[in-house]
């Protein structure tokens, strides 16, 4: 559940990109000095030049040559540097147009080539791409430092910041965003400290890239195979088919030769641990997955983690912060790590208490079967599924035949039409980066063009695991006309054989709707400036729009039409839907505990100071102190915790819980109004949440929608940790 945003100059100002109407008040930017400062030059390089083709231009995937990416990125850096120099050296008095708007327009060529490159890095990470990543990661850090540490440029930004009384609200927020970004990245440091910070940032860029590559190599390098059919006991047919396909893709001949594979990804591990009767093999698969990055070999991440944490702490102290966590949360909704921890600690006792109840129920079933075991982490999913059947008479294998990926895609598009007036029409006239990718044009209720949605659903070699959203081009109207938004959703489903439909789990269906919520956030944007557009909001707010969009899956309107049996076409029976609803808080002990354990470890690692640590020991001792149940492990163990060591969620993994408190409360607003398709509530949600980007304080946006501040009690009710009203 990660959002990857298009690289903009602002992201270069604040961090290395992680594997993340007309203005009123003041006059709108027209033919101003800013546009004379930044004039795009055609280079003849397809990666650098303006995108051509329909819909305002589209990424030139069909012409992108990996062999030229490194040179193109270097040229793009030089072009952006020249643009920054023009802005910084402008002899005219600094104002909003010639400084802030000019910065918004700068770096366009770099944005384009970096977008193409980083999409390759996330989806086609093979061949020369890993080497280019290794080469370019420190260069992005170096470029960001050059901008942040440019005293003439900062002086101009500071001047606008100190003289912005005549600007409108959106413009003031943009100026403050730039000013705060410069300060947070060291613009006010002395020369010696700036040099130290640049050295830290460069090293961090190298280390975080290496961390992610190590995890990817462990995911692709460790595959468990089953040699004969006796090892398939308990597995449903759909999973056997998926494992046979995985074996083919990993060098085996598949079912005809008796070879089945469990790849080292969550989408493969999780169902195997849920259904396999082979306890010994469950333990092997569990260990393989949870030891990614922790195998004591050349891909072991423990030393990298230690150095990353020390460097982040050093940087925070250079900037005057107590810890990296205090620096990171300063501009988030939570504001301080203590506030984030307070929310997590409010939920934690309920989570582990429920987990203990779940373990007792599972142990009772194991004892009744006479297997004489103590529930271990590799048993949890398996016996939880038995409890689900026993307690709720719900077998998720009965649900899966109704979960066709393509029909559910149609369902989430239909829901977006009902809520936002969007229409989706598949198009064939744009290039894609892989044959699996398809594209839809998005229009509003009046058939006005809004954007493009790219869908890349299938796993492949070189594609990182999980599911995420990309923004190839964000909405903005610097020149008075809104740009075409280009977004994508990326998943890792196993492609079906021939014309067979791809069946996904209920959890996968929720994730599909979740990531589509990120895309809708980008498509709904109606702001002027790209830096404030769409999903460019605080990390602990960006998951709110996506988490609430999971709720549309469960609406009767979607289920009755789009959750249909892949063979008979019959809609999912109401009896089965009722069982799903009744079991909605089932296994919340496990789900919340494994997540919160990761979030708490993340925060405590980044509050621990700069002394060297042993990551494995820190993880073990901290969890023991928290009373972590022995039957559960962190959702993301420290050595493969990509979110915090190669992504943007460092000291920020708590954000999912923070955002879920918002989504639980907002969901109750829809329910109180009569349902998730209530027109007035949907309009308010669009106007105050989905369309405003980062032009207002997110707390103010939520309050305008809900009529009050968020109440955490809704979260507790939603997870079954409090009596529902």
Query: Would you state the pLDDT for residue 253?
Result: 54
Q: At 633, phi and psi to the nearest 5?
A: -120, 160
pLDDT at 541 over 80: yes
CA angle in degrees (0–180, nearest 5) for 370-372-376: 125
Q: In the annotation, is 515 catalytic?
A: yes
Band (pLDDT 50/70/90 cuts) for residue 43 is confident
Average pLDDT over residues 418-439: 97
Q: Which has more confidence, 491 or 256?
A: 491
Neighbours of 602 (CB within 10 A): 25
Band (pLDDT 50/70/90 cuts) for residue 255 is very low
Alpha carbon distance 183, 197 (integer Å): 13
Among 234, 245, 244, residue whose Cα is nearest residue 271: 234
With 0-12 CB in 10 A as exposed, 13-18 as middle and 19+ as buried, what is 24? Answer: exposed
Alpha carbon distance 286, 377 (integer Å): 8
pLDDT digits (tens, 9 = 90+) for 77-106: 999 999 999 999 999 999 999 999 999 999
**What contacts 677, CB < 8 A, 6 or more positions away?**
418, 419, 555, 557
Look at residue 373 and give its three-state secondary structure.
Answer: coil
Among residues 83, 219, 515, 550, which one is catalytic?
A: 515
Band (pLDDT 50/70/90 cuts) for residue 38 is low
Q: Is 39 left (phi over 0), alpha (psi -120 to 50) or beta?
A: beta
Query: Would you state the pLDDT for residue 143?
Result: 97
Q: Is 189 left (phi over 0), alpha (psi -120 to 50) or beta?
A: beta
SS3 content of the chain, % helix, strand, coil (to 5): 55, 5, 35
Give, rounded to a whole angstrom, the gap between the first and last alpha carbons of the chain: 30
Residue 650, token pair as written in the block: 């460092």
pLDDT at 283 over 70: yes
Average pLDDT over residues 272-301: 97
Among 78, 125, 94, residue whose Cα is nearest residue 461: 125
Average pLDDT over residues 615-619: 97
pLDDT digits (tens, 9 = 90+) for 307-365: 999 999 999 999 999 999 999 999 999 999 999 999 999 999 999 999 999 999 999 99
Among 597, 603, 600, residue whose Cα is nearest residue 325: 603
Alpha carbon distance 543, 529 (integer Å): 21
What's the Cα-to-Cα distance from 37 to each of 50, 89, 105, rounded to whole Å? 18, 10, 9
pLDDT digits (tens, 9 = 90+) for 112-166: 999 999 999 999 999 999 999 999 999 999 999 999 999 999 999 999 999 999 9
User: Which domains are present in the chain?
Assistant: 2-188 (1.10.1370.40), 222-290 (no CATH), 401-582 (1.10.1370.40)
Please answer whether residues 460 and 426 qualify as being in contact, where contact means their C-beta atoms are separated by less than 8 angstroms.
Answer: no
């Amino acid at each position: 559940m990660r959002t990857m945003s298009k690289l903009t100059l602002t992201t270069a100002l604040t961090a290395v990109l992680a594997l993340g109407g007309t203005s009123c008040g003041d006059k709108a930017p027209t033919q101003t000095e800013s546009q004379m400062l930044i004039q795009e030059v055609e280079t003849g390089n397809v990666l650098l030049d303006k995108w051509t083709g329909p819909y305002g231009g589209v990424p030139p995937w069909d012409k992108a040559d990996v062999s030229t990416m490194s040179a193109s990125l270097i040229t793009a850096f030089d072009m952006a540097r020249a643009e920054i120099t023009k802005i910084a050296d402008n002899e005219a008095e600094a104002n909003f147009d010639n400084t802030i708007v000019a910065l918004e327009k700068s770096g366009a060529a770099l944005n384009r080539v970096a977008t193409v490159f980083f999409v390759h890095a996330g989806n086609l990470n093979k061949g020369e791409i890993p080497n280019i990543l290794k080469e370019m990661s420190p260069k992005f850090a170096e470029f960001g430092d050059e901008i942040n540490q440019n005293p003439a440029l900062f002086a101009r930004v500071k001047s606008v910041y100190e003289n912005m009384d005549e600007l409108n609200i959106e413009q003031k927020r943009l100026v403050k965003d730039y000013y705060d970004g410069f300060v947070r990245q060291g613009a006010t440091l002395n020369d010696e400290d700036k040099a130290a910070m640049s050295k830290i940032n460069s090293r961090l860029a190298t280390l975080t890239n290496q961390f992610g590559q190590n995890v990817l190599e462990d995911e692709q390098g460790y595959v468990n195979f089953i040699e004969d059919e006796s090892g398939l006991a308990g597995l449903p047919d759909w999973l056997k088919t998926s494992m046979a396909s995985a074996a083919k893709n990993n060098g085996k001949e598949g079912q005809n030769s008796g070879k089945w594979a469990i790849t080292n990804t969550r989408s493969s591990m999780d169902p195997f641990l849920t259904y396999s009767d082979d306890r010994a093999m469950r333990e092997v698969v569990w260990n393989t997955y949870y030891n990614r990055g922790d195998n004591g070999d050349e891909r072991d991440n423990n030393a990298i983690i230690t150095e990353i944490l020390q460097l982040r702490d050093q940087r925070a102290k250079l900037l005057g912060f107590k810890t990296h966590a205090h620096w990171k949360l300063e501009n988030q909704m939570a504001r301080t790590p203590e506030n984030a921890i307070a929310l997590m600690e409010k939920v934690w006792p309920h989570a582990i208490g429920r987990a203990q109840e779940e373990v007792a129920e599972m142990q009772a079933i194991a004892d009744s079967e006479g297997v004489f075991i103590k529930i271990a982490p590799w048993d949890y999913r398996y016996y939880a599924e038995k409890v689900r059947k026993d307690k709720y008479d719900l077998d998720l294998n009965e649900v899966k035949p109704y979960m066709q990926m393509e029909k559910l895609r149609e369902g989430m598009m239909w829901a977006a039409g009902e809520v936002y007036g969007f229409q989706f029409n598949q198009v064939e006239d744009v290039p894609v980066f892989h044959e699996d990718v398809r594209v839809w044009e998005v229009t509003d209720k009046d058939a006005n063009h809004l954007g493009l949605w790219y869908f890349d659903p299938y796993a492949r070699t070189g594609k990182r695991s999980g599911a995420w959203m990309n923004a190839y081009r964000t909405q903005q109207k610097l020149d008075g006309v809104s740009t075409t938004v280009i977004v994508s959703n990326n998943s890792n489903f196993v492609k079906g054989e021939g014309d067979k439909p791809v069946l996904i789990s209920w959890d996968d269906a929720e994730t599909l709707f979740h990531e589509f919520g990120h895309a809708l956030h980008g498509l709904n944007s109606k702001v002027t400036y790209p830096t404030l557009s769409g999903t460019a909001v605080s990390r602990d707010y960006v998951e709110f729009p996506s988490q609430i969009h999971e709720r549309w899956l469960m609406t009767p309107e979607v289920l009755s039409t789009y959750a249909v049996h892949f063979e008979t076409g019959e809609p999912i029976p109401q009896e089965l839907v009722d069982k799903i609803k009744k079991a909605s808080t089932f296994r919340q002990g496990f789900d919340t505990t494994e997540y919160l354990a990761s979030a708490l470890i993340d925060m405590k690692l980044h509050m621990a100071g700069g002394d060297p640590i042993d990551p494995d020991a820190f993880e073990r001792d901290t969890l023991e102190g928290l009373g972590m149940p022995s039957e559960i492990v962190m959702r993301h163990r420290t050595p493969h915790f990509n979110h915090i060591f190669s992504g943007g969620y460092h000291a920020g993994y708590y954000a999912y819980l923070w955002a879920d408190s918002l989504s639980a409360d907002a969901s109750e607003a829809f329910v109180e109004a009569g349902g998730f398709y209530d027109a007035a509530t949907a309009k308010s949600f669009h106007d105050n949440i989905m369309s405003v980007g980062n032009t207002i304080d997110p707390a103010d946006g939520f309050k305008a929608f809900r009529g009050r501040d968020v109440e955490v009690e809704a979260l507790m009710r939603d997870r079954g940790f409090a009596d529902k009203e």
